[in-house]
Amino acid sequence: MKKIIALLLLLFTLSFVQFQEVSAAFRLYETTKQTVFVEGVRHTKIVGSIDMDGLVTNQVINYIGANPKLYSDINLVVADNFQAHGWGMSGLPIIIDKVHQRYENFRVIAGVNGDFYDINDTGQPLSLHVRDFEVIQRGYGGNRNAVGFKDNGDVVHGIPTFDGYELLVYNDEGQLKKRVPINRINQVPQSNSEVSVFFDDSLVAIPESFNKVIMSGIETKINKNKSGYFGKGSLVETTSNAVTIQNNHFIIVGHEFNNDQLISGNDYAVVQLGLGGIWDDVRFAIGSDAQALVINGQANLSLNAGASWDFPAPRTAIGIKTDGTVFFVVVDGRNKPEGMDGVKLRELGEIMAHFGADRAYNLDGGGSSTMALKDLDTEQYVILNTPSDLRIRSVANGVFFVKGEHKETPAPIPAWPDTRSQLSMPGNVFVDGSGILHFNGIEGAISYSVLVDGKETIVNDNQLSLALPIGSHEISIRAKGGALYKSSDYTANIIYNVYPQDINKFLELLRSFASQNVTP
């Protein structure tokens, strides 16, 4: 009887004991390890094995990393190949090409696939996607984490916070004219002060009495479950008449909206769900899984969810170190004959902690896991890992280390209506015999915009050395006023002809002959 009572007391006592989770025993064994640096980005490849609580598996691990806090010409960019009015999927090399098309100031050094996405339908990412300050996607997959990158190299992470929908109006220089709160999407304004935006999926009729600013969509995005909207467009017309929303248009609606000509012919406007708090000035952001892999430098052993979290698979992850270093890891999997067993999410967390992550997050994995690095000899991009599909899978987006400085964001207009004085146009525009463009400087100008065949170059001085191909070229110039002055109008085009070398010599000969035969 005493033994039975003692056993019952022991069981009763154990029922009130809360056991602490003990850190897993983890070891990474390196059979081979190779490290190279490409334009400031470190690449390390490890072939070996890991031991997690006594279970040994064979692994191939690729790491790329750099510190954007230390080097202003190494930055992080989030990119995609979305359609203008929808989503889409592309392989990582195509998304790299898109980076180069969008940003002439950047060249991709290395990168990986990004967020989870709707693989069977639209290709839209499940969580936050910010491209060059534009919140393309807020996410529709629940409270998922994201990682955001700022111009100064700071990295923010966690669950994003939002401040509600906003309308951002920019002039043709990219200066913010005004930020207007949007009160409703696809709903009629409820007061004289409210502003609504209607997208082309709206089933609500717009009353005739309202001002309606009709915008032609440069880019529009609507969430699959209609929980998020993005629109970027240019002005078609302003009317108070009854209208029908055309495909790929959106309409800004308010009782007195645009009576002050806020949106005019050369402007463009963005409708988006604005980010708030620490996320406010994030330039690029990528979404991730719902639970962190590493917290305060320790693998998250309480992790209990995520994509096939407790099964070995190929994986992609992003890590942030306390010194500002950002790195990515791709672990190969589903290829045991080649020593690529793959890892569970807790094992991935241990690997990220092994590499020094203070915080780490899981990105899309499986057949999506892809890591690319620039080959300096060929200027091509090499896929470093072995995709488990045995081909490069099309994905929604990617995140990349790029070489180059961020373009400076134009200073916003101090207030609207704009009462600033306008600068005069540059005068005395000509190109000398050495191919150098000259023009008069304008007092108050912070820089000059030079258009050559429609392509803009910003110069701080009143001259520019031209290196143009043979042919006829149109050149015009404006003085830029920054925050203090309105920029000038562009000058009328001058035509500059570039001739082949033998014709140039002949023209020089003619000029020389003419100068020698001028009668005094």
Q: Is it true that domain 430-504 has CATH number 3.40.190?
A: no
CA-based nearest residue to 318, from 308, 307, 309, 329: 329
Q: Kindly list the strands in the beta sheet with 211-222, ordered across the sheet, starting from the edge strand earlier in the chain.
A: 176-181, 162-170, 268-275, 229-239, 211-222, 249-254, 196-199, 184-185
Strands 380-383 and 292-295 come out as unpaired
The strand pairing partners of 184, in sequence order, are 196
Q: So what's the pLDDT on residue 119?
A: 84
CA-based nearest residue to 61, from 337, 387, 368, 340: 340
Q: So what's the pLDDT on residue 225?
A: 86
**95, 79 Cβ separation under 8 angstroms:** yes
DSSP codes, 499-511: --HHHHHHHHHHH
Please give the residue that has the higher pLDDT: either 504 or 42. 42
pLDDT-based confidence at residue 307 (cuts at 50, 70, 90): confident
Q: So what's the pLDDT on residue 7?
A: 38
Q: What percent of the chain has pLDDT over 90?
A: 87
E-assigned strand segments in 140-191: 146-149, 155-158, 162-170, 176-181, 184-185
CA-based nearest residue to 108, from 71, 150, 79, 140: 79
- Could you say which DSSP state residue 417 is in? S
| Tens digit of each residue's pLDDT (9 = 90 or more) over 268-296 | 999 999 999 999 999 999 999 999 999 99
Torsion, Cα of 91, 93, 98, 104 (10° steps): 170
**In the chain, what are the domain boundaries?**
31-155+282-403, 163-268, 430-504
The tokens describing 47, both together, are 């072939």
- pLDDT exceeds 90 at position 491: yes
pLDDT averaged over every residue in the chain: 92
Predicted TM-score (pTM) of this structure: 0.91
One-letter amino acid identity for 449? Answer: S
The strand pairing partners of 472, in sequence order, are 497
pLDDT-based confidence at residue 507 (cuts at 50, 70, 90): low
DSSP codes, 336-360: GGGTB--B-HHHHHHHHHHTT-SEE
- pLDDT exceeds 90 at position 13: no
Q: So what's the pLDDT on residue 209?
A: 86
pLDDT-based confidence at residue 21 (cuts at 50, 70, 90): very low
CA distance 140 to 127: 6
- pLDDT exceeds 50 at position 6: no
CA distance 233 to 166: 14
**481, 446 Cβ separation under 8 angstroms:** yes
**231, 273 Cβ separation under 8 angstroms:** no
One-letter amino acid identity for 520? Answer: P
- pLDDT exceeds 80 at position 342: yes
**267, 234 Cβ separation under 8 angstroms:** yes
Mean pLDDT of 28-54: 98
Gyration radius of the chain over CA positions:
29
The strand pairing partners of 107, in sequence order, are 403
Phi, psi of 366, deg, nearest 5: 65, -140
| Tens digit of each residue's pLDDT (9 = 90 or more) over 437-478 | 999 999 999 999 999 999 999 999 999 999 999 999 999 999
Beta-carbon contacts of residue 397 (< 8 Å; ≥ 6 apart): 78, 79, 80, 95, 113, 114, 115, 117, 125, 129, 286
**479, 425 Cβ separation under 8 angstroms:** yes
Q: So what's the pLDDT on residue 10?
A: 38
| Tens digit of each residue's pLDDT (9 = 90 or more) over 380-419 | 999 999 999 999 999 999 999 999 999 999 999 999 999 9
- pLDDT exceeds 60 at position 22: no
| Tens digit of each residue's pLDDT (9 = 90 or more) over 166-180 | 999 999 999 999 999
The strand pairing partners of 63, in sequence order, are 44, 329
Mean pLDDT of 211-218: 98
User: 102 in helix, strand or coil?
Assistant: helix
Mean pLDDT of 79-106: 97
**395, 117 Cβ separation under 8 angstroms:** yes
